[in-house]
Amino acid sequence: MKYVLRAIPILAIVGMLVYLVTVMGTIDHPGKPLYKINCASCHGEKGEGIKKLVPPLSGTTYPMEHLDSIPCWLKFGMNHPIVVNGTEYDQIMYPVKLNAIQTANVMNYVLQELQQKDTTVSSKWVEEKWANCK
C-alpha cells in the first residue's frame, strides 16, 4: 500500500511531462499563421513556389544568401530579375504590410520551418535593415 501511495506523485509527474512534451510538439511556429496569410498564396504552403512565376522559399539557398535584403524586399516590394535554382524569375512581389515583429516572425518561419536552419532574426535586426533600405 505504502509503495502504491509513493508511486502516485511520481506517476503524476511523469504524466505531466509526457503531456507537456506532446503538447509542445504540436504548438505551431508563431510565424506560421503570418506566412499562411501573407506569403502562402504566392510561395505555396510549403514554400514550393509557382512554376516560373514565383520562386521557391524551400529547397533553395537563395533566402539564406540574401538574408540582409529580405526585410526591405518585404517592406517595399521586389521587382528585378533573379535566378533561383537555375530558373529566372521576374514578376513583382508587392510590399506586405507587416510590422518589424511580424516580419521577424515570418522570416523565422521561413528560415526554421521551410529551410530547417538554426537561424533566428529579431525585430531589432529587421528595424536596422529597414533603416538602410536602398
Are residues 98 and 104 in contact, defined by beta-carbon separation less than 8 angstroms?
Answer: no
Which residue number, 60 or 129, has a Cβ lying nearer to ligand HEC? 60
Decide whether 25 or 69 has the Cβ nearer to ligand HEC.
69
Tell me if 82 contacts ligand HEC by CB under 6 A: yes
Contact between 78 and ligand HEC per CB under 6 A: yes
Q: Which of 68, 60, 27 is nearest to 44 (CA)?
A: 60
Distances (CA, A) of 96 to 1, 35, 49, 120: 64, 11, 17, 20
Say how far apart CA 62 and CA 71 lie, in whole Å.
14
Q: Which of 23, 41, 47 is nearest to 107 (CA)?
A: 47
Chain residues 38-57 in contact with ligand HEC, contact rule CB under 6 A? 38-39, 41-43, 54-57
Q: Is residue 100 a contact residue for ligand HEC (CB under 6 A)?
A: no
Give the separation between CA 113 and CA 119, rounded to whole angstroms. 10
Region near ligand HEC per CB under 6 A, out of 6-14, 20-28, 93-101, 112-120: 93-101
The stretch among 8-16, 20-28, 58-66, 117-125 that binds ligand HEC (CB under 6 A) is 58-66
Nearer to ligand HEC, 15 or 77 (CB): 77
Pairwise CA distance, residues 126 & 103, whole Å? 7
Contact set with ligand HEC (CB under 6 A): 38-39, 41-43, 54-57, 60, 62-63, 70, 73-74, 78-80, 82, 84, 89-91, 93-94, 96, 106, 110
